[in-house]
């Protein structure tokens, strides 16, 4: 399946919101919510609903997608203000195939082209910290708990 499928990268559109949300919620339930306070789940998952994603798109936030030939969304990288990565998910069955790196490179180049961005930030879940480190991000402060109780590691990337 993996080798015969071609991956296409494109900018997400409002009609992609449902597929983006389904992927984000599925990956979040598997990799992010275990080990988090129970209070974190509902608010985090609500922000991944189709209506919330469409609103974010309307507000100018950009969702870069990795899709299979048949149109299935298998990866998403969402950027706010051309500098803050706030959603980054790759379908579990596609982990280890280089999709995350390609998706990040596309998102980074888009922000640089649009705004000349050299400083990027994100709030990583514990399991994602090693992935972001491989992209060059470093912790920018101690672990912090958001209002919902979600515990994250603030990280940043400064390009030369």
| CATH code for position 55 | 3.40.630.30
Give the pLDDT confidence of 57-92 residue by residue, as tens digits. 999 999 999 999 999 999 999 999 999 999 999 999
Mean pLDDT in residue range 36-54: 95
Q: What gap in Å lies between CA 128 and CA 125, rounded to an integer?
A: 5
Q: State the total domains in the chain.
A: 1
Average pLDDT along the chain: 94
* Residue 103 domain-assigned (yes or no): yes
Q: What gap in Å lies between CA 31 and CA 14, rounded to an integer?
A: 26
* Residue 137 domain-assigned (yes or no): no
pLDDT at residue 118 tops 50? yes
* Total-model pTM: 0.93
Residue keyed to tokens 């015969």? 4
* Residue 150 domain-assigned (yes or no): no
According to DSSP, the residues that pair with 156 across neighbouring strands are 121, 138
* Residue 159 domain-assigned (yes or no): no
Residue 48 lies in domain: 8-117
Mean pLDDT in residue range 32-55: 94
Alpha helices in the chain (DSSP H): 17-27, 41-46, 50-58, 99-115, 129-134
Query: Using an 8 Å Cβ cutoff, are 79 and 40 in contact?
Result: no
Six token digits for residue 115: 């705004």
Predicted pLDDT at 148: 87
* Residue 99 domain-assigned (yes or no): yes
* Residue 1 domain-assigned (yes or no): no
* Residue 27 domain-assigned (yes or no): yes
Task: Tell me the CB-side half-sphere exposure of residue 7, using CA atoms within 13 A.
Answer: 21
């Amino acid at each position: 399946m993996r080798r015969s499928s071609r991956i296409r990268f494109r900018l997400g559109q409002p009609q992609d919101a449902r597929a983006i949300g389904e992927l984000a919620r599925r990956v979040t339930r598997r990799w992010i919510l275990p080990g988090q306070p129970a209070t974190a789940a509902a608010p985090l998952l609500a922000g991944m609903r189709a209506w919330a994603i469409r609103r974010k798109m309307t507000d100018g936030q950009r969702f870069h997608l990795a899709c299979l030939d048949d149109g299935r969304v298998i990866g998403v990288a969402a950027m706010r203000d051309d500098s803050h990565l706030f959603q980054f998910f790759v379908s579990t069955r596609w982990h280890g195939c280089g999709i995350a790196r390609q998706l990040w490179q596309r998102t980074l180049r888009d922000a640089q082209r649009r705004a000349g961005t050299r400083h990027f930030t994100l709030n990583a879940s514990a399991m994602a910290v090693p992935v972001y480190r491989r992209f060059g991000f470093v912790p920018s402060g101690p672990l912090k708990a958001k209002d919902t109780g979600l515990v994250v590691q603030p990280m940043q990337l400064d390009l030369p």
